Structure 1
């Protein structure tokens, strides 16, 4: 197998040819290439973006002052939560990026993961 010609990750896609190439976290496809990832991490964006499943219609939802790391979605309340190890915060916003707010900012050091239990109204940090 040749991994679909992808240098790193080959993911199923509903559009032809049935797959898209993707890169590990922190790296991205080289400019002008749909198959080859950079070998080292690139300058990280300080944003959270969204797109369709096929990668089209990409748009920035959240502009962050730090570096968004872990993300959790509360589909019931239509909120997005994210950790930020640069600012040592847990943040919340509506899925459209409005009403952005820091919800936890004290006694955190390098928060890296978050999980939600929407029906119980809890979020859990790891």
Structure 2
């Protein structure tokens, strides 16, 4: 199938599909006319990549997961280790975002938001503490 059909079936834009091909995550065959010719297996790989990226896995983690997916001798512990590492990273990001929210919340609460020029938000961004 052509890239348009593969894009439609996988839910990924052609640009992303070409990028995945450029970095070696996908290698479709070529039709007689030289155009890319995507197989059903390629579409499955693309869907796998889309779901993996949607869960926050990096391109390199996706490369590892795809490799394990295709390895019939794999040990699920390898897959679990990658997923656990991602979960730890997500927990760290959540803690970071909660800290950012609290800091920004304090600045917003401290600002009167009126006609006066004094603004604790701008002072805080500038590193001035009152």
Could you state the TM-score of these two structures normalised by the residue count of structure 2? Answer: 0.23
- Indicate the structure (1 or 2) with the bigger Cα radius of gyration: 2
Could you state the TM-score of these two structures normalised by the residue count of structure 1? Answer: 0.23
More strand by share: 1
**Greater relative CO (CA pairs within 8 A, separation 6+):** 2
